[in-house]
Each structure stands twice: as structure tokens, then as C-alpha cells.
Amino acid sequence: MPEDTLNLAVIIGSVREGRFGPVVARWFVEQAEAHGGFTVDLIDLADTPLPLALPAVPPALAPDLARPPAMAELSRRVAAADAYVVVTPDYNRSYPASLKAAIDWYHLEWRAKAIGFVGYSGASGGLLAIEHLRQVFGELHAHTVRHYVSFPRYYQLFDAAGTLTDPQEPAEAAKILLDELQWWGEVLRDARLTRPLGLVPAARS
């Protein structure tokens, strides 16, 4: 990979038994690797225990003190990313609790970075989850890009082997998302190096 590629973390947001997220994520990783603008790291939240109870000291203020040792590798990978793509279903008109836990255990790691979304669900294709996630990441000073990939009724779109039966339209949507993510990712990476966003993390209630 060229030295100017972005480090892209693709995050599987669901940890539910029988989840479809890994199938969608593997497809998107293939698109991102073929794009050529990214070094891709696939992060599965199911691989790391994420406590739902946050400590008294917010992770944003004292990450080494607050985070359990088991999260050290996840923390390194989240911090190393220049941009992210979150792969999420809709759960009850929003996104999974596992994803909220992962977001809340970090703070500065998301700041001034570009974030895209790939959604899947029965009816909305994950759009309800994506809209909620835009609000959350905006609070953390991240930039969510406009374009996304959506798979409504995903179970009709992939075959038993996890291959899209009609890949052209999703591939085109992925290319648009990745192009936009690359532009914003490069701009924000350069800005973090030359003009860091010097905001003090707010204490959490």
C-alpha cells in the first residue's frame, strides 16, 4: 500500500448471536481494499468484552485508569484509525447497545475523524440506526459523511454463501462512500497534524 493511504477501521457493531454483520462487513472490506485508498482493519466488537457500566472517572479524562486491561488492543486499533466505517443493523429503531458501549468507552479517539456507515435491516436498511449514530458522533466532534450503503431486506440480497446476488448497485454505493470518506479523511488527518482541535473533554455525568 502507498504511504499516503488512510488507516480505515471497519467496525462490526452487533454482537448478537446469529448476527449478519460479519457477512456485510467482509463484503465492505473487499470494496475498501479494492478501492486502493485505505489500509483496512476489521474490528469485531464481539472479540472484546465491553462493560456497560462506565467508571466514575470518564475514559476521556483518564483512559489508562478507566479502561479495563482487556480493552487495550481494541483501544490501540481504534486510536490508530484515520477514519471509520460502522456496520450496523437496526435494533428497535436504533443501533445496538454494544455499539453505544464501544463509542462511550472512547472520546478523543473519534475527534476530528471521518466516519461512514453501512446499514442493514429488514425494512429500513439500517437508516434508523445511522441517523441516531450521526447525532452521537457529532457530539464527539467527529465528521459523519453524507453517503452510506444500505441493505434493506438483506436476507434477500445475499446468498447462502454470503455473496451478493446482484452486486453492481451496492458496489457503486460503496465506491461513492469510500471516495467521500477518503477526501474527508485526508483533510482531517492533515488538519489534526497542523491545527489540532484543542477542546477539553467535558466531564460526564
Q: pLDDT tens, 119-156?
A: 999 999 999 999 999 999 999 999 999 999 999 999 99
CA 195 to each of CA 60, 138, 185: distance values in angstroms, whole numbers, following the listed order: 20, 19, 15
Give the model's pLDDT for residue 66. 80
Domain presence at residue 1: no
Q: pLDDT tens, 7-50?
A: 999 999 999 999 999 999 999 999 999 999 999 999 999 999 99
Q: pLDDT tens, 62-116?
A: 777 788 999 999 999 999 999 999 999 999 999 999 999 999 999 999 999 999 9
Domain presence at residue 110: yes
Tally of residues, the chain: 205
Domain presence at residue 103: yes
Give the model's pLDDT for residue 26. 98
Q: pLDDT tens, 173-191?
A: 999 999 999 999 999 999 9
Give the model's pLDDT for residue 195. 87
Q: pLDDT tens, 191-204?
A: 999 988 776 555 55
Give the model's pLDDT for residue 61. 77
Give the model's pLDDT for residue 35. 98
Domain presence at residue 203: no
Instruction: Enumerate residues 6+ apart whose C-beta is below 8 A from 158.
Output: 23, 27, 164, 165
Give the model's pLDDT for residue 1. 40
Full-prediction pTM beyond 0.85?
yes
CA 122 to each of CA 61, 82, 115: distance values in angstroms, whole numbers, following the listed order: 39, 31, 23
Domain presence at residue 199: no
Give the model's pLDDT for residue 105. 93
Instruction: Enumerate residues 6+ apart whose C-beta is below 8 A from 73.
Output: 48
Q: Under a CB-based contact definition with an 8 Å cutoff, are residues 29 and 85 in contact?
A: no
Which CATH number is 21's domain given?
3.40.50.360
Give the model's pLDDT for residue 189. 97
Q: What is the mean pLDDT of the chain?
A: 93
Domain presence at residue 201: no
Give the model's pLDDT for residue 201. 54
In this structure, how many other beta carbons lie within 10 angstroms of the beta carbon of residue 67? 18
CA–CA separation, 70 and 85 (whole Å): 23
Number of structural domains found in the chain: 1
Domain that holds residue 19: 6-194
Q: Which residues of 121-154 are buried (b: 16+ CB within 10 A; e: fewer)?
A: beebbbbbbbbbbbebbeebebbbbeebbbbbeb
